[in-house]
Structure 1
Amino acid sequence: MTSTQAETLFLALAVVLALARLLGAAARAIGQPAVLGEILSGILIGPTFFHGNLAKHLLPTAVLPYLGSLAVLGLAIFMFLTGYELEHALLRSQGRTAIGVAVSAFVLPFGLGVLLAFHLADGHHLQSRTGFVLFLGAAMAVTAFPVLARILADRNMMQTRIGGISLASAATSDLLAWLLLAIVVVVAGGPAQWRLALVPVYLAVLIGAVRPALRRILRAAPDGADAALTSGAVAAVLGGLMLSCWATEWMGLHYIFGAFVFGAALPRGGTEQLRSDGIVDSLRNLGVVFLLPIFFVTAGLKVDLSHLGSRGLIDLVLILLTAVTGKAVGAFAAARALRMPTREAGILATLLNTRGLTELVILSVGLQLGVLDQELYSLMVVMAVVTTFMAGPILRVLYPDAQIELDRTAAAAVRTKQPATAAAR
């Protein structure tokens, strides 16, 4: 890297961070998650507006490869945190309700997405028709688990029954989507598909050898231990994360799977040091605050709506109708079948329609694999933004703050009674 390139890179990074923080704050000011503004920051400086002149001046072509590398690292850390923060106990505790809602909220949008894919495939140049059909189904079925968690936290819904069910349903639905995306990666093809046979070996080593080793390394430090143990733990986690990303990329899967699985496999019990010493918070600050906005910008630079014609507008309407209807009807119907009240079923359907960041990750993989062309990628990003934006206004109508407080109080009373009831028995 030359001195001029270094100067340009540092300036570009400052611009990216400033835009992300500014638009993220603007999104929060209107009751939206900050991630929505951060996604828009990339789109605004992309080729959609001003013929791409903003990007040419703010982010010259010479620095784009470096920004791309930083975006890869940020996405890997984000997927690791997503896997690590996936609460296994939460999935088990909600039981039949969460699984029933998740399956219905996955199957219906997936089926509608497949039908729409057959219609869209004829009008676009695609490398793999089968891959595109499966991919569009998966993209329609996904829910942005991290964004959903943020919405619940902002509205104080974490301790409500509907909040727990929505989180568990979203986590289950996303697990299904990641599995399907892995199949899409295989269908799309690669130079060494025989390496996929090593995936079970990789998982066995990760769970049988790496996980126990990490548990020993990450076990809470004894009194008087110095900072060396903390730095060693950070090095162990990051080193394992990089190796896991390398392994899945080498085997023919995408590196995001390596990051997600490594985070999900990280031991929970006996690893208090991860939280107490702020290791997870440090990684979150590095990945989410600094590196992930770079991913938003590089992804937004690929969105081009400047040449959107009448056919593109029709495709966009079809994509939005399929995405919103499939997810909402699937979640609502399952919730009602499980005897949830109509209002709660509507709230659940609204929450699970949030796609946001997770959708953007999946779309970036699809564009990289060639199962999406540039126009479809742009339209799908718009869908991700619209469905995420919808959640806030609808929730304020269906679930006002006063009702949330009542539900939180009721949930707390139930939790307080449970130990006493158990003791009485």
Structure 2
Amino acid sequence: MTAHQTASLLVGLAVIVLLARSLGALARRLGQPAVIGEVLAGVALGPTLFDGVVSETLFPDTVRPLLSALAAVGVAVFMFIVGLEWDATLVRGSGNLAATVSLSSVLLPFGLGATLALYLMERHEADDQLAFMLFMGIAMSITAFPVLARILTDRGMARTPLGVVALACASIDDVLAWSLLAAVVAISGAAGPEQWRILLALPYLLGMLFVLRPLLRRFVARRAGLRLTPTVFACVLAGLLLSAAATEWVGLHYIFGAFLFGVVLPRGGTEPLRGEVHNRLGQMSATLLLPVFFLVTGLQVDLSGLGAAGLGDLALILLVAVGGKFAGAFAAARLHRMPGRQAAALATLMNTRGLTELVVLNVGLQLHILGEELYSLMVVMAVVTTAMAGPLLTWILGRPSDTDTDTTVTGQAPEPAVDRAV
């Protein structure tokens, strides 16, 4: 790197951090998740405003590959934390309701999204039509567990029966969505001429779940009160990076390896250790790495030339994304005799997409499943569906101090423990 590149990179990173922090704080003051402001910070620095003059000045082409590399590390860390906080006890403790709502809130928007893809193909080129249809279905089916958990925590609902059910539904959604996305990545031929490597994905998954996880459990069981020493932290960090590299090499995206490594880390008796890992990685990721990811996302969002046809496509995307997710979750909840108000609140929470959706959309862009115009529209959908959750919950349930803390859901099992939100 030249001195000019180094200076440009450091100044650009400083601008990213400060702008993301400022707009994130503003979003929180307006009752929105911080991710809304941080995404808008990335879009503001991109080509949408001022014909891209800001982005070209602060982030010349010579430093953008470096930013992309930092963004990749940030996404890997984020996915690891999502896996680390994924709690199977939420699913086991919620009965049939969570499974039914999750399946319905995935299958209906998935089917509608795949159908919408048939129409969008006429205006947006798709080299692999099957992969495009499947991907659009997945993009419409996403629920962001971290953002949903943050909303519930802010409203004091995380320990209520409704909150526990919502977290359980989002947990199941995560597994379904990542499994479907892994299948699409495999179908798309991401490994190129080395496509045979995809056959190693299943042995790798089985090895992580049935070999590495038991070994880690035994290691932790023999060391009572294990703390996060520099050596342990280095091993955790190396493990997530190596796991991410492994799934990238076999032809899946690196996000799956990072997520899987977080899932296999032991749960029992490791709460303080996992809390320290979360805090150390989470602070650096939230302060620097994820804002860089938002910038890289914003640099590829260009709404400056959006015309009537584009607005029409956006309206259809929002209709399918919001309507499919809401109708699927609401109908399933009502079939289980959940009161209408709580069913509507649950359906609203399931519409939260947030950062998880952006990760999925970036996978689609990297694999050339999405073009830049459609990618831009889908990013707008992710922002809108996340931003509307808080106001809709207030409209349905009232302000947090009114009814949220005593909201009841009939027929639910006792609430399981809920991990911290990312």
Global fold match (TM > 0.5): yes
Tell me, in whole angstroms, the C-alpha distance in 1 between the residues paired with 2:134 and 2:224.
Answer: 50
Out of 353, 357, 360, the residue aligned to residue 359 of structure 1 is 357
Tell me, in whole angstroms, the C-alpha distance in 2 between the residues paired with 1:185 and 1:272.
Answer: 33
Report what 2:200 is aligned to. Answer: 198
Q: Is the 8 A contact 1:245 1:259 kept in 2?
A: yes
Q: Secondary structure at the match of 1:22?
A: helix
| Structure of higher CA gyration radius | 1
Report what 1:4 is aligned to. Answer: 4
Q: Secondary structure at the match of 2:22?
A: helix
Q: Secondary structure at the match of 2:107?
A: helix
Out of 378, 381, 392, the residue aligned to residue 379 of structure 2 is 381
Deviations 1:166-199 (A, max 9, x none): 1111111121111111111112113222111111
Is 2:322 the counterpart of 1:324?
yes
Deviations 1:373-413 (A, max 9, x none): 011000000001111111111111111221113338x99xx
Cα pair distance change 1:273/1:354, threshold 3 Å: closer
Report what 2:229 is aligned to. Answer: 230
Amino acid at match of 1:352: M
Q: Is the 8 A contact 1:81 1:263 kept in 2?
A: yes
Amino acid at match of 1:78: F
Q: Is the 8 A contact 1:218 1:273 kept in 2?
A: no
Report what 1:419 is aligned to. Answer: none
Tell me, in whole angstroms, the C-alpha distance in 2 between the residues paired with 1:64 and 1:86.
Answer: 33
Q: CA RMSD in A?
A: 1.9
Tell me, in whole angstroms, the C-alpha distance in 1 between the residues paired with 2:333 and 2:208.
Answer: 36
Report what 2:73 is aligned to. Answer: 73
Q: Secondary structure at the match of 1:308?
A: coil
Tell me, in whole angstroms, the C-alpha distance in 2 between the residues paired with 1:271 and 1:84.
Answer: 11
Tell me, in whole angstroms, the C-alpha distance in 1 between the residues paired with 2:257 and 2:71.
Answer: 16
Q: Secondary structure at the match of 1:62?
A: coil
Report what 2:242 is aligned to. Answer: 243
Q: Secondary structure at the match of 2:62?
A: helix
Tell me, in whole angstroms, the C-alpha distance in 1 between the residues paired with 2:105 and 2:77.
Answer: 28
Amino acid at match of 1:188: S
Q: Secondary structure at the match of 1:269?
A: coil
Q: Is the 8 A contact 2:93 2:414 kept in 1?
A: no
Is 2:62 the counterpart of 1:37?
no
Tell me, in whole angstroms, the C-alpha distance in 1 between the residues paired with 2:175 and 2:46.
Answer: 31
Cα pair distance change 1:48/1:95, threshold 3 Å: same
Amino acid at match of 1:246: A
Amino acid at match of 2:115: L
How many residues are aligned here? 409
Report what 1:89 is aligned to. Answer: 89
TM-score w.r.t. the length of structure 1 is 0.92
Larger helix proportion of the pair: 1
Cα pair distance change 1:311/1:119, threshold 3 Å: same
Out of 200, 211, 232, the residue aligned to residue 209 of structure 1 is 211
Amino acid at match of 1:162: L
Tell me, in whole angstroms, the C-alpha distance in 2 between the residues paired with 1:197 and 1:340.
Answer: 43
Identity of aligned residues (%): 52
Tell me, in whole angstroms, the C-alpha distance in 1 between the residues paired with 2:277 and 2:365.
Answer: 33
Shift of 1:286: 1.7
Cα pair distance change 1:126/1:17, threshold 3 Å: same
Q: Secondary structure at the match of 1:330?
A: helix
Report what 2:418 is aligned to. Answer: none
Q: Is the 8 A contact 2:124 2:371 kept in 1?
A: yes
Report what 2:282 is aligned to. Answer: 284
Q: Is the 8 A contact 2:36 2:386 kept in 1?
A: yes
Amino acid at match of 1:309: G
Q: Is the 8 A contact 1:220 1:272 kept in 2?
A: no
Shift of 1:354: 0.8
Q: Is the 8 A contact 1:219 1:271 kept in 2?
A: no
Tell me, in whole angstroms, the C-alpha distance in 2 between the residues paired with 1:351 and 1:221.
Answer: 40
Q: Secondary structure at the match of 1:303?
A: coil
Q: Is the 8 A contact 2:160 2:406 kept in 1?
A: no
Report what 2:57 is aligned to. Answer: 57
Report what 1:167 is aligned to. Answer: 167
Q: Which has the higher contact order (CA 8 A, sep 6+)?
A: 2
Amino acid at match of 2:3: S
TM-score w.r.t. the length of structure 2 is 0.93
